Structure 1
Amino acid sequence: MDLSIAAILAQDGITSGAIYALLALGLVLVFSVTRVILIPQGEFVSYGALTLATLESQKFPATCWLLVALGAASFVVEAVAVLRGHRGHASRHRALMGATLRDLLFPLAVFGLAHLLAPRADLPFWAQLALTVAIVVPMGPFIYRLAFERVAQASTLVLLIVAVAVHLALVGLGLLMFGAEGSRTASLTDANLSVGGMSVSGQSLWVVATALALIVALYLFFGRTLTGKALRATSINRLGAQLVGIGTTRAGRIAFTLAAALGVLSGILVSPLTTIYYDGGFLIGLKGFVGAIIGGLVSYPVAAAGALLVGLLESYASFWASAYKEVIVFALIVPVLLWRSLSTPQIEESDE
């Protein structure tokens, strides 16, 4: 391997690592706030990429039907909870109106907008991106409402089993909506830059710049906004956050929304670089999970650095031993878990 090949592999590794970093941050966020290991994170990647590919082919995305179905189911669950709760008439009315707007009218508005705009050949790329985000991201809080909210106080093992069930359901729905064939979206840019005699892809620069911008935005969100501080408080001490009036249920919905947004944006960024299949996001999400594990599912900076390490390791392993690159990447988790098991004191879950 000469220096030019090493530089090309480093470029690919940094690009992949930036995407894995976004997924790792989403996983850390959800786990710290809700104790849910978000195995379905990869499905948001696939759904985002394939929905955008469907819009680019001027077809109506089937994910709109799923959005409406999830919204309707969430409305039914919310309405039953409101009617069974001990609330005054005015409070019930406000809650039902809010659920109607959020769970019924918004999905139907997105459905109608997609039905109107999807067949248009002159639909700008930014409009396709915005429509993709509007279709897939709201699925995050809907999934939390339907699958996790009622068992939020259960053990981590129960939450993990529910997460696996949600993952399998979304994979099956992905096959039904998108079929077995993969898709690749148009590149964000075809430009190439020459740096020190090495050609740098404009798409790679877009990926890295977008990832850095999102990481900075998350840092400002958690450090400067009241909602972000509430999420941090919930992640540090869930019971204490409840005692001071922070709504942990709302915190869980926001965490799932942010994680879904990171997954969708990761799918949009990676889809011009590789073909995405209905179940392809799972493997991408697993590599983000390795980065999150390096950060102990609690440290955002270490998780991002670990994800970058995963991207570089994958890139160089594909050159030296391409047939074993996945094995090498996932083997990284073994020494990390061994070190953490030896260095971290054991705490019973009931004492957490």
Structure 2
Amino acid sequence: MQIFDTAIFPVLTADGLTTGAVYALLALALVLVFAVTRVIFIPQGEFVVFGTLTLASFQLGKVPGTLGLLLSLLTVAAVMEGFTQLRQRQPRRALLVLAGAAVTGAAYWALLEWAAPLKPALWVQVLLTLALVAPLGPLLYRTVYQPLQNATVLVLLIASVALSSVLTGLALVFFGPEGSRTPAFVQGNLSVGQLTVSQQSLLVILVSAALMLALYAFFERTMAGKALRATAVNRLGARLVGISPSSAGLLTYTLAAGIGALGGMLIGPTVALGYDSGFLIGLKGFVGAILGGLVSYPLAAAGALLVGLIESYASFSLSAWKEVIVFTLILPVLLWRSLTTRHIPEEDE
């Protein structure tokens, strides 16, 4: 065990806040998905991995395998929606759905086949990555979770575990077993007294904070955000006043996928991510969400920052035990919640 040196404390704090800021984004996405759809979204970490590795593929001038996944899910979702429209005796809408999916898929394929070999500027690659990874959220919701929307929380949890395993396997097929890093968005360091912090770390914290504020404004100021809040508070009541649970789910999963992809690109320059890194990263975001009771966004963000700080401190003096220390945080919180929370049957929600 290394002796803790107070001189290293500010450095560890800066590192902990950087990783904790990303965990906070994941925790917010997990709370949002659970509140709106009752799904403990275990694959959230996979979006982080897909964000990092997709950007790394663009850096090499390759068309990422994410495109194949997107086109496959788009086809399946279009066929499912087409059959739904046919059952409702609306063949014209079914044809429009299929035609729209075909045009969208062709546009994605043509754009990436043209743009990827050119190795465009980093900000263009970031936008292309978001355009590839963010739509995976609503497509997965349509193909996996929407058919199970009346299932129990346990069934939804099992589906999430299975989906996480499938996405991990696909990441291995698409990107290979080697881990990858992405280039930093900004270069250089910033000195504050005797503390030197990379500008990339500051950017991660600032972007995470700005995104949290943007989400707050979205939920407080926009009709779509208020609809999601209403669905989270009372799904039945929201349905009675005309809020579509399916539309709320699609928007929720779009936000979750976009947040995950952005988080992956933010931490990509500092952490080498492999195809199987998503589960562990998502689990740390889940610890933060649990500390917030899976209901409070501010507490979830604060809990995730705490996870990042504890992980950073433990990696210096107790590196062999840091994962154990982080995940042990769940136990007292779950015990306290079980003793103080009144259970509400699902049919009464």
| Aligned counterparts of 2:329 and 2:103: Cα–Cα separation in 1 | 46
Amino acid at match of 1:323: A
* Structure 1 residue 94: Cα displacement: 4.4
Amino acid at match of 2:319: S
Aligned to 1:93: 92
Do residues 347 (structure 1) and 347 (structure 2) align?
no
Aligned to 1:282: 279
Aligned to 1:154: 151
- Pick aligned residue for 2:18 from 10, 15, 22: 15
Cα contact 1:4–1:198 (8 A) shared by 2: no
Aligned to 1:124: 121
Secondary structure, aligned partner of 1:194: strand
Cα contact 1:110–1:134 (8 A) shared by 2: no
Do residues 210 (structure 1) and 207 (structure 2) align?
yes
- The one-character-per-residue Cα deviations of 1:250-290 (angstroms, maximum 9, x if unpaired) are 10010000000000000000110011101112111110000
- Pick aligned residue for 1:307 from 288, 304, 309: 304
Secondary structure, aligned partner of 2:118: coil
Tell me the TM-score normalised to structure 2 length.
0.97
* Structure 1 residue 98: Cα displacement: 4.8
CA RMSD for the aligned pairs?
1.2
Cα contact 1:82–1:96 (8 A) shared by 2: no
Secondary structure, aligned partner of 2:181: coil
- Pick aligned residue for 2:134 from 126, 137, 143: 137
| Aligned counterparts of 2:197 and 2:165: Cα–Cα separation in 1 | 38
Cα contact 2:83–2:94 (8 A) shared by 1: no
Do residues 25 (structure 1) and 28 (structure 2) align?
yes
Secondary structure, aligned partner of 2:130: helix
Aligned to 2:37: 34
Aligned to 1:56: 59
| Aligned counterparts of 1:104 and 1:310: Cα–Cα separation in 2 | 44
What stretches of structure 2 of length at least 5 have no aligned partner?
Answer: none
- Pick aligned residue for 1:44 from 44, 47, 66: 47
* Structure 1 residue 2: Cα displacement: 3.5
| Aligned counterparts of 1:234 and 1:125: Cα–Cα separation in 2 | 37
Amino acid at match of 1:57: L
Cα contact 2:179–2:273 (8 A) shared by 1: yes
Tell me the TM-score normalised to structure 1 length.
0.96
| Aligned counterparts of 2:30 and 2:288: Cα–Cα separation in 1 | 10
Cα contact 1:68–1:104 (8 A) shared by 2: no
User: What are the within-5 Å matches in structure 2 for residues 218-297 of structure 1?
Assistant: 218-297=215-294
Do residues 112 (structure 1) and 131 (structure 2) align?
no
Do residues 168 (structure 1) and 171 (structure 2) align?
no
- Alignment length, in residue pairs? 346
* Structure 1 residue 99: Cα displacement: 5.8
Amino acid at match of 2:287: V
* Structure 1 residue 188: Cα displacement: 1.1
* Structure 1 residue 96: Cα displacement: 4.5
Aligned to 1:197: 194
* Structure 1 residue 346: Cα displacement: 2.4
Cα contact 1:296–1:303 (8 A) shared by 2: yes
- The one-character-per-residue Cα deviations of 1:95-144 (angstroms, maximum 9, x if unpaired) are 6525643x3322331221111011114x1111100101111110110000
Do residues 67 (structure 1) and 67 (structure 2) align?
no
What stretches of structure 1 of length at least 5 have no aligned partner?
Answer: none
| Aligned counterparts of 2:243 and 2:345: Cα–Cα separation in 1 | 25
Instruction: Name the CA shift for 1:76/1:94 in 2 (closer, same or farther; >3 Å).
Output: closer
| Aligned counterparts of 2:287 and 2:258: Cα–Cα separation in 1 | 20
| Aligned counterparts of 2:345 and 2:134: Cα–Cα separation in 1 | 35
Amino acid at match of 2:233: I
| Aligned counterparts of 2:106 and 2:136: Cα–Cα separation in 1 | 13
Cα contact 2:78–2:97 (8 A) shared by 1: no
- Pick aligned residue for 2:87 from 57, 81, 84: 84
* Structure 1 residue 79: Cα displacement: 0.1
Percent identical residues: 55
Secondary structure, aligned partner of 2:191: strand
Secondary structure, aligned partner of 2:190: strand
| Aligned counterparts of 1:323 and 1:309: Cα–Cα separation in 2 | 19
